[in-house]
Amino acid sequence: MKPHLLSHLTAGEPVVYIQAGTPPEQLTAWLQAEGLDVADLTDRGLLRIMSPDQAYLLTGRFDVKRMLAFMESAILASMAAGHARIFITGEMSWSLGDAPGAEQMMAYEALLNPLIEKYPNVTIVCQYDLKRFNAASVVDALLTHPTAHLPSGVVTGFYGS
């Protein structure tokens, strides 16, 4: 995830980061340690750090269609602003609680694929903390996408397995 995040921001391309487990202060400190001016990036609309309540749970519950519309809206806004690429990432640990609609998570994951096919210059990474999610949940997430970004590198071929 780190290479995507840094490559987009250093190239002046937008990033939407939906944090659930990492405090925003920790994210901004990390970005500043990488030499990035977080205030400037935020002011220019290139960095949006959001909570799950501002994205996944905006209406108080997780709704697949609304979240897909949110994602497409972010992509279209980026394109309208003249950007060639956008990186959207979300920490998925919010779904481990009792959030209404969280049981729809894997359906949402699968429906991201057509969105990525429609907009090939978008990179979407759903972050599953391997210390918090059980193996079955991680495997389910892996099987919904053609590409997975693992600590060892990018792996392809899971989708439809």
pLDDT average, residue stretch 150-154: 71
Task: Find how far residue 50's CA is from the centre of its chain.
Answer: 11
- Sorted by sequence, the CB contacts under 8 Å of residue 147 that are 6+ apart come out as 154, 155, 156, 158, 159
Percent of the chain beyond pLDDT 90? 71
For residue 3, the model assigns a pLDDT of 81
* 161, part of any domain: no
Strands annotated E in the chain: 15-18, 47-50, 86-91, 122-127, 147-150, 153-156
Give the CATH number of the domain where residue 138 resides.
Answer: 3.40.50.300
For residue 2, the model assigns a pLDDT of 82
Q: With 50 as the cut, is the pLDDT of residue 161 above it? A: no
pLDDT tens, residue by residue, 74-86: 999 999 999 999 9
Number of structural domains in the chain: 1
Task: Find how far residue 99's CA is from the centre of its chain.
Answer: 18
Q: What is the pTM of this model?
A: 0.90
Task: Find how far residue 127's CA is from the centre of its chain.
Answer: 7
Whole-angstrom distance, CA of residue 123 vs CA of residue 120: 8
* 103, part of any domain: yes
Domain containing residue 86: 2-156
pLDDT tens, residue by residue, 6-65: 999 999 999 999 999 899 999 999 999 999 999 999 999 999 999 999 999 999 999 999
From its phi and psi, is residue 91 left (phi > 0), alpha (psi between -120 and 50) or beta?
beta
* 115, part of any domain: yes
Considering only CA atoms, which of 146, 106, 113 is closest in space to residue 128? 106
* 37, part of any domain: yes
